[in-house]
Amino acid sequence: MEEKIIEAIGISKSFHDPLTVKVLTDVSFSVNKSEFVSIVGKSGCGKSTLLYILSTMDTSYEGMLLLDGISMKTKNDKELAQVRNEKIGFVFQFHYLLNEFNNLQNVMLPGLKFGKLTSKEVEHHAYEKLKILGIENEALKYPNQLSGGQKQRVAIARALINEPLIIMGDEPTGNLDKHNSDVVFNIFKELAEEYHQTLLIVTHDLDFAKKTNRIITMQDGKIIKTELS
Amino acid sequence: MKIKLIAQIAMALLMARFKQTIVAAFGVTFSITMFITLLSFMGGLNDLLDNLILNRTPHIRLYNEVSPSSIQPISKSEAYPDAYHFIAHVKPKNELPEIRNSEAIIKALREDNNIRGVAPKNTVPIFYHVGEISLTGILDGIDVDAENRLFTFKDYVVDGNSLDLKNTPNSIILGIGAAKKLLVQVGDNIQITTSNGTQFTLKVVGFFQSGMDELDKIQSYVTLATIQKILGKPASYITDIQIKLYDITKAPELTKKYNKLFETDAIDIQTANAQFETGSSVRTLISYAVGITLLIVAGFGIYNILNMMIYEKMDSIAILKATGFSGKDVNAIFITIALTIGLVGGIVGLIFGFGLSAIIGQIPFNTASLPTVKTYPINYNTKFYLIGAVFSLITTYMAGYFQSKKASKIDPVDIIRGK
Ligand SMILES: Nc1ncnc2c1ncn2[C@@H]1O[C@H](COP(=O)(O)OP(=O)(O)O)[C@@H](O)[C@H]1O
Ligand SMILES: [Mg+2]
C-alpha cells in the first residue's frame, strides 16, 4: 500500500456568475509519495480550478480533499494558511516574486513565516535550495535583475523552502522559451529522482507530460484518462 | 519572530513608496504641530485671563456681612408663633464688619492641612484728598508677606517696592488710576478721610496695577497695623480672612464647613467667579475641535496611500497568502504601515509643535493692563502632547483599519487567475 500524499474524492465545483456553470464534475484521484504526476487537457477544461482547490486556496467545492490523510473541509482560514505554508509548495505560471526583497529573502519568506527555524537557519536552507537550482550567485540580486527562467527558478526555490509534502505547479513553464522550459523540467525531474519530492504539475506541453511518471488527462471538468508512462 | 517578519514586510512596502509615505506622514506632522501649538497657545491665554482674576482672588473668603438681626422681637412673642411677621424694626447695629474672634479663627485655619495659607485683611471705604480733589476709594490693610506669598502682590506693584509698605511707617501703595487722577508721585504725601471723618496722612511708596482699570482707580493698600491705627482699633480687628487651598476644587465644601464652624459669612471662588470657567472651557473646546479636524484630514491622507499601496501590491498580497500568510498576517502588515506613518509623523509633529509654540512664546506681547506679561503666553502642558500622540495613533489606526481589512480579504485565486 503506497502512502497517499493527496487524495481528491468526488470533487465538483460550479461558478454562479451569473449563470451556473459546472467546471469540475466528480473528480477523484490521488498522488502517492515520491510520484511525479502531470495533468493535461485543453485550455478551459478546469485544470487550474482543480489545482486551486487542491492547494486549499479555493474552499468552495463539493467533495473531499485529504492532505496527508487529513480532511481540509473543517479547517478555518488560518489553519489552511498554515497547511499551505508547511505542506504545499506552489509554482505558478507567473513568478510572483516580491520586488521589494532580494531573491534570497523571497525564498526565505515562507520559511520565516513557518517560524520553526531561526532566520540564520532559514537563510542557510534558502542558499541550499538556490544551489540545487543553480542560481546561488543571484541570491543577493533583486528579482527585476533576473531573466524569466531565473525568476521561475527562484520561485521554485521558494516553493521548496519548507520541504513541503508536495509541489504543485500550474503551467510553470508556460511563460518560458524552449530552453528554459527544459531547464525547469530537468529541475523537477531531479527533485523527483534525487530528493524523492512529490510533484503534481499542470501543463499543456505534452512532451513535458510524457516524461513524468503518470499523466492525468482532463476534459470538460472530468478525468477521462490516466496513463502511466 | 512573527512580529519581526511582519514589521520587515511592512517596512519593505513602505520603502517601495517612500515619497508618498513621506507626504502622508507629513500630513500627520502638520496636524499634530498645529494641534500642539493651538492648544499650548490657547492654554497659555486661558491661564493668563484666569490668573488675572484667580491669582488675586482667595479660594475662600470669610467676612461679616452687615445685616439686620435675624431674630426680631416679634418672633419672641408667643402670641403669633406661625404667622408672617411684617414688623422688623431692629436695624443693623452701627458697628464695623469685624470678624469676631479673628485671632482664634486664624490660628485654627493655619493648622488645617487643606490650607496653603491665610491672609487677614481689613477693607475700609475712604476718600483720597490732594488739594481740592477728593475721590472715593477703598483701602485694604494687608499682611504684605502673606499677600506676596499667596497673591503675588509684588508683581502688581509697578513703581516702588511692596516691602517698602512694611518698612515705612504710615505708608500707602496707591492704585495707578487713582494716582494719575491725584497727580502724585512716589514719595509724595496724601490725605485720606474715613467714613466716620477721621483724617490721616500717608506717604506714597509705590503704585499698584491690577490690569483692571476700574479697580486701579479706587484700590489702595496699607499694612494691617496702619489701618488699625487709622480706625483706632486693636490688633485683633480683622474684616476679611482670605484663604488659599492646596486643592481649589475643595473650596465649596470647606466653605460650608467654615461657615458653620466659625459663624461668619463665607464664599468660595467658584461661586464668586462662575463665568470664568465657562469662558476657558469654551475656548479649550474650540481648540480641540480644530485640532481633531486637522487630524482627521491627515487620516484621509493615510487612507489614500494605503489604498494605493494595496492596489499596487495585489500580487504581493496574493503570493503571501498563497505561501501561507493568513488574512490576519496581511491585516497586521497594513496596520503596521499605517501606525508607522502615524507614529513617525506624530513624533515629528510633537517636536515641531513644541518648537513652534516655543517660538510664539518668544514673540513680544506688551499690554498696559498686564504688567507681568512680556511675551505671548504659552502653556507647555504635557497633557496636550499625550492627547496629540494618542489621537494621531487612533486616527491612523482608523485609517489603516478599513484598508487593512480590505487587503486581508483579497482572494489569491482571483489575482492569480487574472494573470
Ligand atoms: N471566476 C470564474 N467565474 C466563472 N467562470 C470561471 C471563473 N473562473 C474560471 N471559470 C471558467 O471555468 C473553466 C475552467 O477554467 P480553468 O480552470 O482556468 O481552466 P484551465 O486552467 O484548464 O485552462 C473555464 O471555462 C472558465 O471560463
Ligand atoms: Mg489554467
pLDDT digits (tens, 9 = 90+) for B212-224: 788 889 999 999 9
Query: Domain for residue A143, yes or no?
Result: yes
Bridge partners, B113 (sequence order)? none
Give the pLDDT band of residue B94 (cuts 50, 70, 90): low
Of A215, A85, A51, A197, nearest in space to A133 by CA = A197
* Other Cβ atoms closer than 10 A to B410: 18
Tally of structural domains, chain A = 1
Query: What is the domain-level CATH number for residue A95?
Result: 3.40.50.300
From chain A, the residues in CB contact with B5 under 8 A are 109, 112-113, 115
Inter-chain contact B324–A55, Cβ cutoff 8 Å?
no
pLDDT tens for each residue of B175-184: 999 888 888 8
Which residue's C-alpha comes closest to atom 20 of ligand 1? A44
Q: Determine contact: B327 vs chain A, CB below 8 A.
A: yes
| Share of residues in chain B with pLDDT > 90 (%) | 26
Cell of A178: 524552449
pLDDT at residue B95 tops 70: no
pLDDT tens for each residue of B247-289: 888 888 888 888 888 888 888 887 877 766 777 788 888 888 8
Of B109, B96, B64, nearest in space to B234 by CA = B96
Predicted pLDDT at B371: 65
Give the pLDDT band of residue A30 (cuts 50, 70, 90): very high
| ipTM for this model | 0.93
From chain B, the residues in CB contact with A78 under 8 A are 326-328
> Under DSSP, is residue B91 helix (H, G, I), strand (E, B) or coil?
coil
pLDDT tens for each residue of A188-202: 999 999 999 999 999
Cβ contacts below 8 Å, chain A against chain B, sum to: 81
String of DSSP letters for B156-208: GEEEE-HHHHHHSTTEEEEEHHHHHHHT--TT-EEEEEETT--EEEEEEEEEE
Question: Which range has the top average pLDDT, A104-108, B44-48, B396-400?
Answer: A104-108
Apex B271 CA angle, B268 and B276, nearest 5: 115
Which of B1, B315, B323 lies nearest to residue A85, judging by beta carbons? B323
Query: Domain for residue A51, yes or no?
Result: no
> Under DSSP, is residue B104 helix (H, G, I), strand (E, B) or coil?
helix
Name the CA radius of gyration of chain B, rounded.
Answer: 33
Which of B16, B413, B417 lies nearest to residue A100, judging by beta carbons? B16
CA dist list (Å): B5 to A115, A125, A150:
10, 17, 25
Name the CA radius of gyration of chain A, rounded.
Answer: 17
Name residues contacting ligand 1 (CB within 6 A). Answer: A 15, 17, 21, 23, 41, 43-49; B 417
> Under DSSP, is residue B356 helix (H, G, I), strand (E, B) or coil?
helix
Could you list the residue range(s) of the whole structural domain that residue A119 is in? 34-45+81-228
Which of B320, B322, B326 lies nearest to residue A90, judging by beta carbons? B322
Handedness of CA B299, B301, B305, B307 (dihedral sign): positive
pLDDT at residue B86 tops 90: no
Query: Domain for residue A176, yes or no?
Result: yes
Residues listed for chain A = 229
Query: Domain for residue A62, yes or no?
Result: no
Inter-chain contact B324–A101, Cβ cutoff 8 Å?
no
CB B284 within 8 A of CB B49: no
B 373-412 residues inside an 8 A Cβ radius of A: 411-412
Give the pLDDT band of residue B370 (cuts 50, 70, 90): low
Of A220, A217, A219, nearest in space to A228 by CA = A217
Query: Domain for residue A10, yes or no?
Result: no
Query: Domain for residue A65, yes or no?
Result: no
pLDDT tens for each residue of A79-136: 999 999 999 999 999 999 999 999 999 999 999 999 899 999 999 999 999 999 999 9
Residue A73 exposed, middle or buried by CB count within 10 Å (0-12, 13-18, 19+): exposed
End-to-end CA separation in angstroms for chain B = 33
φ and ψ at residue B172, rounded to 5 degrees: -140, 145
pLDDT at residue B334 tops 70: yes
- A81: closest CA of chain B, how far (Å): 4
